[in-house]
Amino acid sequence: MTFIRALTGACAVALASLGLVAPAKAQTYPTRSITTIVPFAAGGPTDVVARIITAHMAQTLGQSIIIENVVGAGGTTATMRAARAANDGYTLITGHMGTHAASVPLYPKLAYHPEKDFEPIALLAGTPILILARRDFPPKDLNEFVTYVKANTEKLNAAHAGVGSVSHVSCELLHSILDIKPVGVPFNGTGPAMNALVAGQVDYMCDQIVNAVPQINAGTIKAYAIATPERNPSLPNVPTTVEAGLPKFQAQAWNAMFAPKGTSPAIVASLNAAAAKALDDETVRKRLLELGSVIPGPAERTPEALATLVKNEIAKWTPVLKPAT
């Protein structure tokens, strides 16, 4: 037996040296499940976008992708954790315009830098911003909303997902245009903030479309306007801020996937390819479009395009948000 084994081994070595037997192929990435951190509560837009896309990526990669919701400090707690995670491709983060751009001017001691501490993987979705309110909020349209919030600023509560979150910075922009400073009510994400809006516990919020379409269509909240130049096909009856009389308020957020700095180019490439494949899948596209997302085209999905987006967004938000700190 030992002899046969030795003989088999010797033959294998001989054949391998002749190039006739392929050496056992090391299993390539991923060999176990991957975690993507979502820096907000479950059920909000970042969580929803991450779940739709990673479900398809998991099929392509042949491993499950676990969503870990880590909340706090407008998404920066989770993003810091992701920046410090092992750069082996098994811990990723699905961040957004807040965690990877607006947080830079808002947190002078931010413990990570979006450009220096991450390898961009892919832009996952563009998400226009809407001005939303509880169903029984008195103003009937955007003009009335402007007059009402200016007249009642002290009494109003604007929900958001923490300082530096998309909902926070986009309403900061709205408030600076209107020259008001209402009380902000922070939540661990706009999933729970939306629940509070539906329950009438807060007055209004600015949020990503993905969170709003089901509630607007169900009539549980009001939508005054979408802050983009064109109406969104998922909400054909919601006017743009241009149509509704507040053209200066333009805001579109985005969600994107990143890995910790130093993750190998091969791993980044396979994650990027899986994300791109998900964005081409009919079922994924249908779901994202139903929720009002803008699906990035091929040129916008590359790691390089995401690096440029992050750089440009930091440059865009810094002068807007710096004076507010």
Q: Report the candidate in 316, 324, 203 with the shortest Cα–Cα distance to residue 251.
A: 316
Closer to ligand ASP by Cβ: residue 207 or 281: 207
User: Residue 113: CA atoms inside 13 Å, Cβ hemisphere, count?
Assistant: 4
SS3 content of the chain, % helix, strand, coil (to 5): 45, 20, 35
CA distances for 140 relative to 85, 120, 148, 186, angstroms: 48, 42, 10, 26
Closer to ligand ASP by Cβ: residue 103 or 270: 103
Q: Does 44 bind ligand ASP (CB under 6 A)?
A: yes
> Which of 77-100 are b and which e, b meaning 16 or more Cβ less than 10 Å from the residue's Cβ?
bbbbbbbebebebbbbbbbbbbbb
| Interacting span for ligand ASP (CB under 6 A) from 41-49, 80-88, 233-241, 284-292 | 41-49
What is the C-alpha separation between 211 and 205, in angstroms, rounded? Answer: 11
Closer to ligand ASP by Cβ: residue 208 or 232: 208
Closer to ligand ASP by Cβ: residue 211 or 272: 211
Q: Does 161 bind ligand ASP (CB under 6 A)?
A: yes
Q: Does 45 bind ligand ASP (CB under 6 A)?
A: yes
Q: Does 252 bind ligand ASP (CB under 6 A)?
A: no
- 3-class SS letters over 33-83: CEEEEECCCCCCHHHHHHHHHHHHHHHHHCCCEEEEECCCHHHHHHHHHHH
Does residue 290 contact residue 214 with C-beta atoms inside 8 Å?
no
Q: Does 191 bind ligand ASP (CB under 6 A)?
A: yes
Q: Does 126 bind ligand ASP (CB under 6 A)?
A: no
Among 69, 91, 103, 165, binds ligand ASP (CB under 6 A): 165
Structure tokens at 256: 């994107």
Among 79, 91, 167, 228, binds ligand ASP (CB under 6 A): 167
Q: Which of residues 79-108 bind ligand ASP (CB under 6 A)?
A: 96, 98
Closer to ligand ASP by Cβ: residue 98 or 182: 98
Among 30, 36, 46, 114, binds ligand ASP (CB under 6 A): 46
Counting residues that bind ligand ASP (by CB under 6 A) gives: 15
| Interacting span for ligand ASP (CB under 6 A) from 43-51, 76-84, 286-294, 296-304 | 43-51
CA distances for 290 relative to 13, 127, 192, 211, 235, angstroms: 58, 12, 21, 11, 9
- What residue type is 24 in one-letter code? A
| Interacting span for ligand ASP (CB under 6 A) from 8-16, 160-168, 258-266, 271-279 | 160-168
Q: Report the candidate in 201, 78, 183, 210 with the shortest Cα–Cα distance to residue 133.
A: 201
Among 190, 234, 241, 263, binds ligand ASP (CB under 6 A): 190
Shortest Å distance, C-beta 208 to ligand ASP: 5
Among 166, 223, 279, 288, binds ligand ASP (CB under 6 A): 166
What is the C-alpha separation between 188 and 7, in angstroms, rounded? Answer: 64
Shortest Å distance, C-beta 67 to ligand ASP: 12
Among 30, 189, 260, 292, binds ligand ASP (CB under 6 A): 189
- CA max distance for the chain: 94
What is the C-alpha separation between 276 and 121, in angstroms, rounded? Answer: 10
Q: Which of residues 192-231 bind ligand ASP (CB under 6 A)?
A: 207-208
| Interacting span for ligand ASP (CB under 6 A) from 39-47, 271-279, 283-291, 297-305 | 39-47
Helix/strand/coil for 162: coil
Q: Report the candidate in 247, 254, 213 with the shortest Cα–Cα distance to residue 227.
A: 247
Residues that bind ligand ASP (CB under 6 A): 40, 44-46, 96, 98, 161, 165-167, 189-191, 207-208
